[in-house]
Amino acid sequence: MMKVDVVIDPHKEIGVIRPELHGHFLEHLGSAVYDGVWVGPESPVPNARGVRTLAIEYLRRLGIPVLRWPGGCFADTYHWRDGIGLPANRPRRMNLWWGSSVETNAFGTHEFIEFCRLIGAEPYLAANIGSGTPEEIRDWLEYCNYPGGTSLSAERVENGSPDPFRVRFWGIGNESWGCGGHMTPEEYCSAYVRAATYLTPLGGTIPYLIAVGPESNDIEWSRRFFEAYWNARKYRPPLHGFAMHFYSWGKSTPTAYTNETLREQLNHFTALERAIIDQRTLIDSFPVHPQGGRVGLIVDEWGTWDLSDKEVEKQRGLFWQQNTIRDAIAAGLVLNIFHRQADKLIMCNLAQLANVLQALLLTSGTSCIRTPTYYAFLLAREHRGGRSLSVEQNFNQSGSPSVSASETTGSITITLVNPDPSLPHEVRCTVKGVDTRHLDATILHHDDMNACNTIEHPDTIIPIPWTAETEKEALTIHLPPLSIARCTLTL
């Protein structure tokens, strides 16, 4: 039994936990889109305008704040005009990056915007700067956001959308250091400023322009990009966001983890917190943009990436990944990091929404289930919009509990994660000046690190009520191995 003391101070505020820190990502990869969320309006699978009905129900219940699309590596080979107009007339393209599969373009801009509306998410478009042109991105912006009176806005109206889409978030490329063009930071900076020059406010919507940041904590990429942006030119277009990617690569297939490989994967997320601090410090060492203010740090893609099971991929698609309690613990650890570093972040997007990598949903035929990761996000939902609070604990080592806390009007929410696969934790939380006796607790847990929700057994891992011992300003909660507990204190 590991015993840990934690002190939460409601008078020490870190920053507001923006809902966008719980964002998500959908790419044309494997079965994430097709047979994942999109089945088509003629499908026998219950759907609303082509979108899987159960996916809508589950995602609305979770409350997806923002959704990034169409990639990923796919974004820098995607030409948006392929995905508009009558579906029967859309070209069929080879998906260059993901298995050379055939992309039908049945799910395009209108379908994506409709999907976002159905689930209540704000759309985020990743534009093609690798194989596209500034003109192509500018035209996409006009097509989406201009109210009417131009040829492009008239084309949008003809395609069924009289009202503009008002897309605010625009990513200028993806992983330009790799699949997005293998550019140097200086080359990418030139490509960014050229494209951003033409992406102006239209119809009252001011585009939030997001540049490609580093892979993990690549300080050299970030430093050289910002030096090129600030030092090489007299006039500069707006720069609002800077997006890093961070994956924790696994050394086992999804349901074959051992104590050793589990600990190695989960411990890697400590490097994510270090990366957020380092990247924020570097960005803040450069001037504040007169048009855009402080450049926002974004974690555009994050999550677990396990070894692939080739036989499973043959049946279910590229990078299909069975989600387990381990993935839920990973999500709990990362969300706690985002909450604790809320003053440094603007947006964070889990990879990915359905079937691929660390997914919220898994689908098969007419079935759609929620994964343990889905429930980890559900437990953290109460933090959105709250004030992140200072958390201090008496020691922090590998396998020790992860804690975050926030306050909203009338309540304080505390999330505690035990990432150890064998050792239970006893955590005593002192909440300064707060009566903890009005407490509601919920836990997500399973004794088997490879336990998972499947189509046949969808409720193996679900949140259940939990208890904690309370006194005037403290609560003591017992966390079994591999568990996430949420405690809500009514003020």
Catalytic residue ranges: 175, 301
Residue 436: phi and psi, rounded to 5, are: -90, 5
Max Cα–Cα distance, the chain, nearest Å: 69
Nearest to 383 by CA among 406, 416, 357, 409: 406
Q: What is the 3-state secondary structure (H, E, C) of the chain?
A: CEEEEEEEEEEEEEEECCHHHHEEECCCCCCCCECCCECCCCCCCCEECCEEHHHHHHHHHHCCCEEEECCCHHHHHCCHHHHCCCHHHCCCEECCCCCCCEECCCCCHHHHHHHHHHHCCEEEEEECCCCCCHHHHHHHHHHHHCCCCCHHHHHHHHCCCCCCCCCCEEEECCCCCCCCCCCCHHHHHHHHHHHHCCCCCECCECCEEEEEEEECCCHHHHHHHHHHHHHCCCCCCCCCEEEEEEEEECCCCCCCCCHHHHHHHHHCCHHHHHHHHHHHHHHHCCCCECCCECCEEEEEEEEEECCCCHHHHHHHCCCECCCEHHHHHHHHHHHHHHHHCHHHCCEEEEECCECECCCCEEEECCEEEECHHHHHHHHHHHHCCCEEEEEEECCCCCCCCEEEEEEECCEEEEEEEECCCCCCEEEEEEECCCCCCCEEEEEEECCCCCCECCCCCCCCCCCEEECCEECCCEEEEEECCCEEEEEEEEC
Compute how many other C-beta atoms are within 10 angstroms of the C-beta atom of residue 184: 15
> How far is 102 from 98, CA to CA, in rounded Å?
10
Give the pairing of strands 367-370 and 469-470. unpaired
